[in-house]
């Protein structure tokens, strides 16, 4: 059973992924980049919530100087 905050964060992240998939072929490259970044941030928050729920040490998914879109 997932804690409510974990379910919320995963739900938000999945919503962003669905939004990205929906507009991927219908919108501009700039909008795509913004949605990708938003998806990555939401999943990072979801992972943090899961780690906190199970008392795991936090893992930073992105280094401070890394651009999340560069690897796409």
Using a pLDDT cut of 90, give the percent of the chain over it: 0
Predicted local confidence at residue 27, as pLDDT = 55
Per-chain mean pLDDT for the chain: 67
d(Cα 69, Cα 72) in Å, to the nearest integer? 6
Burial 43-66 (b: 16+ CB within 10 A, else e): bbbbbbbbeeeeeeeeeeeeeeee
Instruction: Report, as an integer, the average pLDDT of 13-21.
Output: 67
In this prediction, residues 46-71 reach a mean pLDDT of 61
Q: What is the pLDDT of residue 72?
A: 46
């Amino acid at each position: 059973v997932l804690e409510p905050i974990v379910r919320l964060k995963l739900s938000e992240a999945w919503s962003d992924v669905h939004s990205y998939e929906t507009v991927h072929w219908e919108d501009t490259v700039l909008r795509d980049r913004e949605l990708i970044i938003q998806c990555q941030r939401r999943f990072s928050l979801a992972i943090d919530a899961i780690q906190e729920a199970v008392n795991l040490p936090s893992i930073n998914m992105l280094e401070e100087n890394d651009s999340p879109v560069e690897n796409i």
